Structure 1
Amino acid sequence: MPFIEPKQPLKMPDPYQDQDEAGRPQTFAQPDTQDEGDEAISSAQFVYVGRQPILDRVGALHAYELLFRGSAQNHAVVSDDAQATAQVVVRTIGGIGVPSVLGTHRGYVNIGRDLLFDDIVHLMEPERFVLEILETVRFDAQLIARIQDLRGAGFRIALDDVCEMSPNLRAALPHADIVKIDFLATDRTRLADLAQSLRGRGKTLIAEKVETREDFAMARELGFDLFQGYFFARPQVLSTRRARSSRTSLLRLLALLALDAGIVELEAELKGNPNVVMQLLRLVNSSAFGLGRNIASLREAIIATGTRQIARWAQLLLYAGGGDLPWRSDPLVQLAGTRARFMELAARWIRPNDEAFADAAFMTGVFSLVHVLVDSTPDATLDPLDLSPLIRDAIVGRKGPMGALLSIAEAAGEAQDAAAIASAQSRDEFAALTPMVLAELNLSAAAWFGAHLAE
């Protein structure tokens, strides 16, 4: 195939562009007349997603890598990879919308170990999103099993920032479809052998961080399939106004879902919260439900999406919702989120085959502190929601096995002796909650919360 120049010419550096330690161009905010206060207000009113093109061998657009952006400025300060990924997913699917961000192309999303095991993965449609596993992720038996499940569900797996044939890469290769080789970090004397070895294993190769004409020519000569880097295009920042969802309405919606409410009831509740409706429609229209057309009707959206997906989305919106404090700074939201996840994990541990019990445990954790969120009492908050007796009695009176789980979760969250509470239960199943198990569940719940930091 003849050499074809990329569609976008190489751009000369601008006066506001510097380089980082690896020699990569780094963009900083250009001076203007807007003061820092105005910029902060603007950032609070909008959400942002960056996207960088991935091109094929003839220079045509093949896909985008989706990138976290905290403002309109084309750079990111990421202190938590899981948080950044969660925000990218939420903003792409429910904020800006998949059609606007990706068009007809795929989106590559950076993802770490915690999020690979989280439900947020299933908000992404496998036909539209590629899971790009960070180079820091270590492949063990548990992770490999999870990746096999995700590939079975239709996801393609890419390995990011590869620069050598390391032991971890060898373990990962049988379970990956795509390998991205970092042209800035890879030893050029070993590049040809690395590319040949990976191609021999049948992997699609992406040359990333391609920044010069010479790099592009070398990558093509070595047989790379796809290309990404500043030589072709810098990331573009997309934005939309931040949508706020009423916590009270979300709580009512979650309560209806917990009661297996019918479509008529769900439709009536959703009509009272236009922001949730807007994001639900974007969610269902972003996925390949086989309907052959976009859905505009709320009832159609509920049927097509399914109550489990709606529940996932409502939980995420509730935790990302509109308090005065940012989500990551709100200790009450942190407590509710980690408690709910802890209870779900503990329920799965003692009753591994009872999915309904685990779902109810999560809901119990969610609702156990909502009276504080809405500045009311447990009775006054829960009675209008008409929750199942299992959940309501656990919260109001600490009754039954769910009440015991809630007491254990409270103790674990306050660094008290949760194991003693578990061992005091008359039910044999609680004996499985040993101190070691409870400590691990507590850590897993905290990691889950970190992965769901959003907006």
Structure 2
Amino acid sequence: MNARAPSPSPIDDQPASLSKEATPESVYLGRQPIVDRNGALNAFELLFRSDATNLARVTDDADATAQVLARLVGDMGLSAALGDHTGYLNVDRTVLMSDMVRQLPLPPERFVLEILETVTFDEALFRRCNELRRAGFRLALDDVSQVSPRLLAFLPCVDIVKIDFMECPRERLAELVAAVRQHRKVSLAEKVETRGDHDAAMRAGFELFQGYHFAKPQVLTSRRITPSRDALLRLMVLLSGEPGILELEAELKRIPNLVVQLLRLLQSSASGLARTISSMREAIMVVGTRQITRWAQLLLFADGNLDALRSDPLSQLCGTRARFMELASGRLRPDDVWFADTAFMTGVFSLIHVLFGSAIEDILSTMPIHADMRRALLERQGDLGLLLNAAEAAESGELTAIRTACNALPVFTPNDLIVLGLTAVG
């Protein structure tokens, strides 16, 4: 975990829980590069940020980790935050001993769990560390500054040792690196602030490097995609009763923002996808109710100040459009359940660029959606594209636009679209 520079700085790299002053419409995630001896990017350490000014306030380490995971899994997505690189996550004892990280759909080989300096070593923690390593995670020990009993106790169950360059005397660096190398662990020099620090770290034999000499943390920003607390509680209650796929699908359809996050969850899945997804039913079956339950719990824990979904005009529009397309699809292709499901999801994703504040092309490139949906959203092609045009025409209330939509879909009259629009709102 990279800390402050020697002089006062507006940057604080410690993990933090949610600031009460954070902008509710956006979420932030800090990331700082970790490079190898050749200067090539090796990984990013992921850091909680309360706002775009790159400030963080530490109050609860477990809460901070949950915040970072919620943003990574739900709001931003793994690809946007890390690309193809590894991510370092700060974890305290509470997180290490819980299922928070292990039960989420995060590919273990992509993450290093960075054990904070506040964690004490004992037999239970030793067993847990070994369980996590067997599951595929790598572990790093943070803020080491000397060869100590704590370091020697942790060395057998970690893979990387982060040595604090500001705290470790220069004459002890070689001893520390030698102790790490003797146990066949990777040495990482953190808080490398100057060219002189880097030169000394290179001479001491460090393998990885992190600090202001290379880069300060970058703040990634994304539109907050959060369902209401009531909606999450309702979903969790439903999940606790082992619902069937159809029942769970019906509940998710009531909360369009959750559909967006479900696809983010799916895109971050460790198992990957051998096929595209065209309905919520497929997404639920691929992710599984257990993963959805864990995800809902994390979202509830990470966002305790959520506004009611009904008060968000954009969410209301998203739900109305998705419902309109589902209703209209039944008129266009009666008894075609797959088409109705796909139409609903197309309605949700037609506003995804507004939710995330990005070009729709960029966002859809990271989403495992069906080709028919992609053509509808990007080119307005096929029946789904025509239904999307009809939905927008009905929303506008402009008779010319409604008639144009009906000309492309002769099964509908202008009155049909107006009635469907009113029904979808209700």
TM-score range normalised by the length of the shorter chain: 0.5 to 0.7
Provide structure 1 residue ranges, at least 5 long, that are not aligned to the other structure: 1-18, 30-38, 326-455
Displacement of 1:249: 3.0
* Aligned residue type for 1:182: D
Note the aligned Cα RMSD (angstroms): 2.5
Secondary structure, counterpart of 2:128 in structure 1 = helix
1:43 aligns with 2:26: no
User: Residues 4-19 of structure 1 correspond to what in structure 2 (within 5 A)?
Assistant: none
Q: 1:314 to 1:218 in 2, by over 3 A?
A: same
Counterpart in the other structure of 1:281: 263
1:406-450 per-residue CA deviation (whole Å, 9 max, x = no partner) reads xxxxxxxxxxxxxxxxxxxxxxxxxxxxxxxxxxxxxxxxxxxxx
**Residues 53-202 of structure 1 mapped to structure 2, 5 A cutoff:** 53-122=33-102, 123=104, 124-202=106-184
| Whole-angstrom distance in 2 between the partners of 1:41 and 1:191 | 41
> Using a 3 Å threshold, how does the CA distance of structure 1 residues 190 and 321 change in structure 2: closer, same or farther?
closer
Which residue in the other structure is 2:206 paired with? 224
Structure 1 residue 151, shift from structure 2 partner: 0.9
- SS for the counterpart of 2:80 is helix
The structure-2 alpha-carbon separation of the partners of 1:318 and 1:136, relative to structure 1 and needing over 3 Å to count, comes to closer
**Secondary structure of 1:26's partner?**
coil
Query: Cα gap change, 1:294/1:119 in structure 2, threshold over 3 Å: closer, same or farther?
Result: farther
1:295 Cα deviation from its structure 2 partner: 4.8
Secondary structure, counterpart of 1:184 in structure 2: coil
Q: What does residue 381 of structure 1 align with?
A: none
Matched, 1:26 2:6: no
Given the alignment of the two structures, is residue 308 of structure 1 paired with residue 290 of structure 2, yes or no?
yes
Number of equivalent positions: 298
**Partner of 2:405 in structure 1?**
none
Deviation at 1:218, TM superposition (A): 2.0
Shift of 1:288: 2.2
Secondary structure in structure 1 of the residue aligned to 2:87: strand
Identity among equivalent positions (%) equals 57
CA distance 1:205–1:42, shift in 2 (3 Å): closer
| Structure 2 counterpart of 1:26, one-letter code | S
Within the alignment, does 1:52 sit opposite 2:32 as a pair? yes
What amino acid is the match of 1:227?
F
Change (3 A) 1:319 1:132: closer
SS in 1 for 2:44: strand
Aligned to 2:216: 234
CA contact (8 A) 2:22 2:50 kept: no
Distance 1:60 1:296, change over 3 A: farther
Q: Secondary structure at the match of 1:127?
A: helix
| 8 A contact 2:226–2:257 mirrored in 1 | yes
Whole-angstrom CA distance in 1 between matches of 2:305 and 2:200: 52
Residue by residue, what CA displacement relative to the aligned partner does 1:31-90 show, whole Å, maximum 9, x if unpaired? xxxxxxxx9877222111100000112111111001111111123221222221211111
Q: 2:112·2:137 contact (CA, 8 Å) conserved in 1?
A: yes
Deviations 1:100-120 (A, max 9, x none): 110111110110001111221
- 1:85–1:111 CA contact under 8 A, matched in 2: yes
How far is 1:300 from its partner? 2.8
Between 216-225 and 243-252, the greater mean CA deviation after superposition: 243-252
**TM-score, normalised via structure 2 length:** 0.65
Query: TM-score, structure 1 length as denominator?
Result: 0.61
Q: Tell me, which stretches of 5 or more residues in structure 2 are unaligned?
A: 13-18, 308-426
Residue in 1 aligned with 2:246? 264
> In structure 2, how many angstroms separate the alpha carbons of the residues matched to 1:170 and 1:322?
40
Query: What SS does the aligned partner of 2:109 have?
Result: coil
Query: How far apart, in 2, do the equivalents of 1:94 and 1:173 lie?
Result: 34
CA contact (8 A) 1:43 1:71 kept: yes
Distance 1:210 1:323, change over 3 A: closer
- Residue 171 of structure 1 and its aligned partner are, at CA, apart by 0.6
User: For the structure 1 residues 164 and 293, does the alpha-carbon distance in structure 2 shift closer, same or farther, using more than 3 Å as the test?
Assistant: farther
1:223–1:77 distance in 2 versus 1, CA, 3 Å: same
Aligned equivalents of 2:48, 2:21: Cα separation in 1: 19
